Amino acid sequence: MTNNNSKYSKHPETLRSARWYAPDDLRSFGHRSRAMQMGREPSDWEARPQIAIINTWSDINPCHAHFKHRVDDIRRGISEAGGFPIELPALSLAENFVKPTTMLYRNMLAMEVEELLRSHPVDGVVLMGGCDKTTPGLVLGAVSAGLPAIFVPAGPMLRGNWQGNVLGSGSDAWKYWDERRAGNIDRDEWIAIEGGIARSYGHCMTMGTASTMTAIAEAMGLTLPAASSIPAADANHIRMCAASGRRIVDMVWEDLTPGRIITPAAVNNAVTVAMATGCSTNAVIHLIAMARRAGIDMSLEDFDQASRDIPVIANVRPSGEHFLMEDFYYAGGLRALMTRLTDFLALDTVTVTGETLGETLQGAEVYNDEVIRPLSNPVYREGSLAVLRGNLAPDGCVIKPAACDPRFHDHTGPALVFDSYPEMKAAIDDDDLEVTADHVMVLRNVGPLGGPGMPEWGMLPIPTKLVKQGVRDMLRLSDARMSGTSYGACMLHAAPEAAAGGPLALLRTGDMVHINIAQRRLSMDVSDDELARRRAEWTPPRPAFARGYGWMFAQHIKQANEGCDFDFLETDFGPAVGEPDI
Ligand code: FES
Ligand code: MG
């Protein structure tokens, strides 16, 4: 098969894979003979784009369980369009099972993707992901590898159901767990909730990190139009997989690389969509990392500013009140949402289709104004996210003002400080714990370095004593992240983190903490002299790893406000996108 269309910029002889298969030499003889060992023929590689399918399936990732079959639909699409599929399995990163936290391994997946693509005879790639860290991990690696890439989102699972109540991933687990701790739900009911909250394959179906990140991938132009909203169990998802397989083959001929798609305007579009969906706070870290890999400088202020301008219009939990991703899909999905944001979006950005974003939105409409609200009737007029600074977090921390009780928007209260998760866990159920609803609960040494890997511990549980009094929200501060399905008055990602010597390390129980969201301030009432005295006494916590990947992680991890990438993977270290060598 040959390609004679002059609009394409790649030709059979310039395919990257031809460097493995075409030369009349001994090494290429090895490649050809070994391909034939697998039953292949010269027509399988001659003038045929070789397409990697990076599959993050595993036997212990419920969000990607269907990838075992969907990969065959992608293969079918690739073959139909004249490519040759090569499945390359990669780290699966199941959010619910990987300890201590998948975030420890996001960069490992990114490195794996980059090196799989660098080292194999492939011309383009289909990225299969969706569970939280898999999306940024795959995209980061593909950006640095620089080959044409298309992202296939796993799709959200179906709505949960328990006794006729709709259940949302994460959010309702936290909610009903508080009711169980308060004694309002018995064990049998709790077990029934366990069986009803996750009814099908697919990723979390709230607007958590998974749904936020796949929406971001689509808004940046990395998926086929509408791909990110399709429920995993919907037959449209199968067709989207095949269509993505067909499309990547043409992307190879067109040499449509991530570098042409991820522009500053495309990143801004992603921020706009993230804000309008009431995004997971994790999106901040991942998007900064992705932008920086693409050589685009991006900071927390970009999010803070966008949050002041862009209303939340996706009425999906946890920011919205009732609806879930399945409802969002029936309401028109992400394309429909973007039609409401055209004043904020750059519509001339290029997508994987080769068309502009504006062209791909043609014909999209909102079918349910309650789920995808008009700008005139938003879920929140502003405040998807705010960045606070002060002597507790000089490099910033983030909070979702819209998701917390307004009485905390301007608050002063005494700190209750925990140095570790086990210390907090041991104290939280103690009826004698000295804590009131006005306290600011603090958990530290749980940042990128301290966690290690910045676990999702930032939504500290409300002390049981207060839960029994009916308290369901209070101010919490940490250098950790929180799940995108979490909610409440949680200040997260404090930077620099305590384990790296950030001033959060110097706070003591009883110090007064001030927060003022309108002024974007977070401070502790401790004098500079006293802070200097405490710093002289401070010793860093013992490193978590003496060897291996964890040791390397600790040497190279950057802080949350910089995206938690490894320093040596950023473009400052050398160009991210280049023609990989054999
Ligand atoms: Fe996989 Fe939530 S556990 S997306
Ligand atoms: Mg999550």
Residue 578 has a pLDDT of 58
CA dihedral 462, 464, 466, 468 (to 10 degrees): 130
Tokens read off for 266: 């495309």
Provide the pLDDT for residue 270.
Answer: 98
Going from the Cα of 130 to the center of ligand 1, the distance in angstroms, rounded, reads 8
pLDDT at position 485: 81
Nearest-angstrom CA–CA distance, 85 and 76: 8
SS3 388: strand
Q: Is the beta carbon of 63 within 6 A of some atom in ligand 1?
A: yes
pLDDT above 70: residue 7: no
- pLDDT: is 138 or 402 the higher one? 138
- The full length of the chain comes to 582
Is residue 95 lining ligand 1, measured as CB closer than 6 Å?
A: yes
Of the residues 56, 58, 61, 63, which should be mutated to test ligand 1's pocket, given the most ligand atoms within 8 Å of the CB?
A: 63
Give distance in angstroms: CA of 104 to centre of ligand 2. Answer: 14
Distance of alpha carbon 450 from alpha carbon 420, whole angstroms: 9
Q: What is the pLDDT of residue 449?
A: 96
Strands 512-516 and 490-491: unpaired
The span from the CA of 176 to the CA of 107, in Å, is: 33
Would the CB of 439 count as within 6 Å of ligand 1? no
131 alpha carbon – ligand 1 mean position (Å)? 5
Token pair, residue 157, equals: 């699972």
Query: What is the layout of strands, in order, in the sheet containing 84-89?
Result: 84-89, 50-55, 124-129, 149-153
Please indicate, yes or no, if residue 309 is contained in any of the structural domains.
Answer: yes
Is 60 exceeded by the pLDDT of residue 4? no
What was the pLDDT predicted at 1? Answer: 41
State how far the Cα of 480 lies from the Cα of 494, in Å rounded to an integer: 8
402 CA to centre of ligand 2 in angstroms? 19
Pair 349, 356: CB distance under 8 Å: yes
Specify whether 352 is located in the same domain as 209.
yes
CA distance 529 to 535: 10
Write down the mean pLDDT value for the chain: 95
CA distance 160 to 406: 29
Local structure of residue 88 (DSSP, 8 states): E
Residue 210 near ligand 1, beta carbon < 6 Å: yes
**Residue-level pLDDT at 8:** 65
Please state the atom number of ligand 1 nearest to the C-alpha of residue 94.
1
- Token representation of residue 582: 């054999």
Q: What is the pLDDT of residues 32-49, one digit of tens each?
A: 999 999 999 999 999 999
Enumerate residues with CB within 5 Å of ligand 2 (an ion).
Answer: 132, 208-209, 483
Name which residue sits closest to atom 1 of ligand 1, judged by CA.
131
Atom of ligand 1 at shortest distance to CA of 485? 2
Average of per-residue pLDDT across 514-518: 96
Task: Looking at the structure, tell me whether residues 113 and 231 fall in a common domain.
Answer: yes
Categorize the per-residue pLDDT at 579 as very low, low, confident or very high, splitting at 50, 70 and 90: low
User: Given the CA of residue 96, which atom of ligand 1 is nearest to it?
Assistant: 3
Is 424 in the same domain as 293?
no
Helix (H, G, I), strand (E, B) or coil at 539: coil
End-to-end CA distance of the chain: 24
Residue 441, beta-bridge partner list = 416, 476
Quick one: 334 and 266 in the same domain?
yes
For residue range 460-498, list pLDDT tens digits in order.
Answer: 999 999 999 999 899 999 999 999 888 899 999 999 999
Sequence-separated (6 or more) residues with CB below 8 Å from residue 80: 242, 245, 246
Digit-coded pLDDT (tens) for 182-233: 899 999 999 999 999 999 999 999 999 999 999 999 999 999 999 999 999 9
Q: Is the CB of 213 under 6 A from ligand 1?
A: no
pLDDT of residue 82 exceeding 60: yes
Average pLDDT over residues 44-65: 98
Q: How many A from CA of 95 to the centre of ligand 1?
A: 5
Q: What are phi and psi of 30, to 5 degrees?
A: -60, -45
Is there a single domain that holds both residue 150 and residue 132?
yes
Evaluate if residue 6 carries a pLDDT over 80. Answer: no
The whole-number pLDDT of residue 487 equals 83
Instruction: Indicate whether 253 belongs to any domain.
Output: yes
CATH number at residue 461: 3.50.30.80
Please say if the pLDDT value at position 2 is more than 50.
no
Task: List 50's β-bridge partners, or say none.
Answer: 84
Contact assessment for residue 348 and residue 358, using Cβ atoms and an 8 Å cutoff: yes
- Residues 127 and 171 both lie in one domain: no
290 by Cβ neighbours in 10 Å (0-12 / 13-18 / 19+) ranks as buried
The candidate with the shortest Cα–Cα distance to 136, out of 351, 291, 290, 303, is: 290
Instruction: State whether 413 and 283 are in the same domain.
Output: no
pLDDT tens digits for 367-383? 999 999 999 999 999 87
Q: Where are the alpha helices (DSSP H) in 510-581?
A: 528-537, 548-556
Question: Nearest-CA neighbor of 279 among 308, 318, 305?
Answer: 318
Say what the pLDDT of residue 175 is.
87
- Residue 96 CA, ligand 1 centroid: distance in Å: 7
Nearest CA to ligand 1 atom 3: 95
Q: Please tell me the least confidently modeled range out of 11-15, 29-33, 253-257, 265-269.
A: 11-15
Judge whether 569 lies within some domain.
Answer: no
- Domain hosting residue 168, numbered range: 164-197
pLDDT at position 352 over 90: yes
Q: Which ligand is nearest to the CA of 208?
A: 2
Residues 223 and 182 in one domain: no
Residue partners of 42: CB distance under 8 A and separation at least 6: 32
User: If we measure between CA atoms, which residue out of 490, 476, 402 comes closest to residue 440?
Assistant: 476
Q: Which of 101, 134, 197, 203 to mutate to test the pocket of ligand 1 (most atoms within 8 A of CB)?
A: 203
Query: pLDDT tens digits, residue range 414-451?
Result: 999 999 999 999 999 999 999 999 999 999 999 999 99
- Judgement on whether residues 249 and 341 belong to the same structural domain of the protein: yes
Question: Residue 288 Cα, ligand 1 centroid: separation in angstroms?
Answer: 21
Q: What is the pLDDT of residues 144-180, one digit of tens each?
A: 999 999 999 999 999 999 999 999 998 888 889 988 9
In the chain, what percentage of residues exceed pLDDT 90?
Answer: 90
What 3-state class would DSSP assign to 262?
Answer: coil
Atom of ligand 1 at shortest distance to CA of 154?
4
Residue 199 CA, ligand 1 centroid: distance in Å: 13
- Which of 64, 67, 95 for mutating ligand 1's site (highest number of atoms within 8 Å of CB)? 95
For the segment 524-553, what is each residue's pLDDT rounded down to a tens digit?
999 999 999 999 999 999 999 999 999 999
pLDDT for the residue 582: 39
CA dist 170 and 301 (Å) reads 28
449 vs 525: CA distance, rounded Å: 26
The Å distance, Cα 14 to ligand 1 centre, comes to 40
**Residues 484, 516 share a domain:** yes
Q: Is the pLDDT of residue 568 over 80?
A: yes
Atom of ligand 1 at shortest range from CA of 170: 2
Ligand nearest to the CA of 481: 2
Ligand 1 near 131 CB (within 6 A): yes
Cis peptide before 452 (omega within 30 of 0): yes
Residue 310 CA to its chain's centroid (Å): 20
Regarding whether 413 and 292 lie in a shared domain, the answer is no
Query: How distant is the alpha carbon of residue 223 from its chain centre?
Result: 15
Least confident of 315-319, 492-496, 519-523, 532-536: 315-319
Within-domain flag for 562: no
Looking at the 3D structure of the chain, how many domains does it have?
Answer: 3
Please work out whether the CB of residue 490 comes within 6 Å of at least one atom of ligand 1: no
107: in domain: yes
Give the pair of three-digit tokens for residue 24: 């009349």
Atom of ligand 1 lying closest to residue 203 CA: 4
- Whether residue 16 is contained in a domain is answered as no
> Is residue 553 situated within a structural domain?
no
Q: Can you tell me the distance from the alpha carbon of 223 to that of 214, in angstroms, rounded to the nearest whole number?
A: 9
Q: d(Cα 535, Cα 533) in Å, to the nearest integer?
A: 5
Which of 132, 201, 317 is the pocket-test mutation for ligand 1 (most atoms within 8 Å of CB)? 132
DSSP secondary structure string, 434-493?
Answer: ---TT-EEEE-S-STTTTTS--S--SPPPPHHHHHTT----EEEESS---TT--SSEEB-
CB atoms within 10 A of CB 538: 11
pLDDT digits (tens, 9 = 90+) for 114-124: 999 999 999 99
Query: Do 238 and 121 share a domain, yes or no?
Result: yes
pLDDT exceeds 60 at position 581: no
Q: Is residue 434 part of a domain?
A: yes
The pLDDT of residue 61 is 98
> From the CA of 393, how far away is ligand 1's center (Å)?
29
Q: How far is CA 477 from the centre of its chain?
A: 21
Region of 168 please: left (phi>0), alpha (psi -120 to 50) or beta. beta
Asked whether the whole model's pTM tops 0.90, one would answer yes
Closest C-alpha residue for ligand 1 atom 2: 204
Q: Write out the two tokens for 361.
A: 């939105």
Ligand 2 geometric centre to CA of 456 (Å):
8
